[in-house]
Amino acid sequence: MAQAPPPMDILHAEILVCRLRLAIERVRMATQRHQRMSKLGEQGLRIAAKRAYHSDKADEIAARLDAIDKAEPATFAIADAVISERESDLATFEAELRQLSNLPLASSGGAQAPSPAPSASPTVVSVSAQDFQKAVDLQPVMFQGVPVQSTAAAHADAMRQANAHPAETKGPA
């Protein structure tokens, strides 16, 4: 028969088994920790990639803003030139309109306005009431797709409305 091992050998075997189980548990925990760390590492890599992308995008936008800032003075100078040109055109138009509004109408019964001073030397043209009405009834001027009513047409409309509804346009009696 086989002899039973001495009690110390059983105790040593139990200790070895416990150490082996402990070592296995440590390896398992290290593997799990590594897996968790690899997931965290992947998330860290994704965050770093996003941060790099956003940094590149911010640099691109900053470069575009710098280009806009550099072009701003020239753009405002061009806009100021266009505005001053439009103002001078408008002043010329208003002067011509004032000159034309002082013209006598042919249907006014021969009563003519006094001729202006010779230094101004405007050309006097007689305009019939029908021709004036045709000029007022022209198609409206379009500005960026929106009809713009001329001052003469607005005045003519106001006069028509005042004449069409005299009771409504007068104040309280």
pLDDT digits (tens, 9 = 90+) for 111-132: 455 555 545 555 555 666 666 6
pLDDT number for residue 143 = 61
Provide the residue ranges of all domains of the chain, joining segments of one domain with +.
7-97
The two structure tokens encoding residue 58: 């911010």
Rounded to whole angstroms, how far apart are CA atoms 65 and 56?
14
pTM: 0.32
Rounded to whole angstroms, how far apart are CA atoms 94 and 150?
11
Reference 159, options 136, 135, 131, 142; nearest CA is: 136
User: Is residue 96's pLDDT more than 80?
Assistant: yes
* Residue 127: Cβ within 10 Å count: 15
| Position with higher pLDDT, 138 vs 20 | 20
| Position with higher pLDDT, 59 vs 101 | 59
- Cα-Cα-Cα-Cα dihedral of 85, 117, 153, 141, to 10°? -30
Rounded to whole angstroms, how far apart are CA atoms 30 and 24?
10
* Residue 99: Cβ within 10 Å count: 14
* CA distances (Å), origin 15, targets 44, 56, 69: 42, 60, 78
Query: What number is the average pLDDT over the span 67-92?
Result: 92
Rounded to whole angstroms, how far apart are CA atoms 123 and 126?
10
The two structure tokens encoding residue 9: 């050998």
